[in-house]
Amino acid sequence: MNKKLLTLTAICVLGLGTLLKAQDAHFSQFYANPIYLNPAFAGTSKCPRVSLNYRNQYPVLSIYQTYSASYDQYVEGLNGGLAIMLMQDEAGDGAYSTTDAAVAYSYHLKASRNFTILAGFQAGYRQINLNWNSFTFPDQIDPFFGFVRESSEVPPGNNSVGTVDLSAGLIGYTEKFYIGVAASHLTSPDVGFFIQDKLPVKLAAHAGFVIPLGRKRLYTDLQNYLLPNVVYQNQGPYNQLTSNISFARGDISGGLGYRVSSFNPDALVILLGYAPLEGQWGVGYSYDFTVSGLNNDLGGAHEISLNYRFPCRTFRKKTKAINCPKF
């Protein structure tokens, strides 16, 4: 089967025979891209932090690629964190692309000696572009020569749609556990080209806890630990549940996850990371082994994350970073 027909087959399977609806890109390494998961994560590392992420979904087709970059830091004068995030999502080899630019603020409230609450708000701008010349349609198919005919489909009047986008989130945590919720696209902005197409609100809930391994001082430094966690997301009629268990031992970290979508099992996720204890940078890699009806014939998904923490200044007010996975 050639690449174009394989692409059409994948889209039909993913669309489940119905009209495709606008949805957000997703990452398997949720915590390596914290601002995208929940704006309340802004400033949680205390030190200034840069996070870079790349995801290639179904590499056999090379039609779904996502890039993300964010910077965040804690600002003592604001009693919270500030963040800026950029993301580019490309579908169909760039035929359909989404660009997001956003800024976020997270207020950090130490509710008690052991419990801290983070409340985040994010404002951004989303632009969606169509490269109409990259699209192919059924009426272009010749039974013998393939995609050679002219299409009768009429392009939209405008190949670009832009809209303001708002999100909010809440996190509560101690040294031993954390729990959070986030809501994206609060105003359900219109992203349609031909007719009105409201982008559904995306709801996310995530939680995890720390299981220390070895001596207590290692638990304090988070050098040896297990961290079971779960992330649930819902957008329109679709939902997704990912359960993970992560570990860290010295410079090496890893994890295993299982993702279930609305209608069927989706993927088994394998994660590996390396972050020198004496350094300020880290790298993570994950592979999604597809277990849905598509099997793994399309190559699953590869994801790479890079992060760097700048040297920290000493804060007058004692604060603690949130204990969550590195990816």
pLDDT in tens, the chain (327 residues): 444 444 444 444 343 333 445 578 889 999 999 999 999 999 998 889 999 999 999 888 878 899 999 999 999 999 999 999 999 999 877 788 999 999 999 999 999 989 999 999 999 999 999 888 777 778 788 788 777 788 777 888 788 999 999 999 999 999 899 999 999 999 999 888 888 889 999 999 999 999 888 765 444 444 588 999 999 999 998 999 999 999 988 788 999 999 998 778 999 999 999 988 667 899 999 999 999 877 788 899 999 999 999 988 766 655 677 878 888
Q: Which of 286, 288, 235, 292 has its CA nearest to residue 263?
A: 292
User: Interior CA angle at 203 toward 197 and 206, to 5°?
Assistant: 155
> Cα separations (Å) of 194 from 24, 95, 130, 164, 176?
20, 16, 12, 19, 50
Q: Residue 220 — φ and ψ, nearest 5°?
A: -65, -40
What is the amino acid identity at position 263? F
Residue ranges covered by each domain of the chain? 21-309
Tell which CATH architecture fits domain 21-309: Beta Barrel (2.40)
pTM: 0.87
Q: Which of 235, 232, 254 has its CA nearest to residue 243?
A: 232
Q: Is 152 exposed, middle or buried (0-12, 13-18, 19+ CB in 10 A)?
A: exposed
Q: How far apart are CA 189 and CA 177, in angstroms?
A: 34
User: Interior CA angle at 14 toward 8 and 18, to 5°?
Assistant: 90
Name the CA dihedral angle for 212, 217, 218, 219, rounded to a multiple of 10 degrees.
30
- Can you read off the two tokens belonging to residue 53? 């992420």
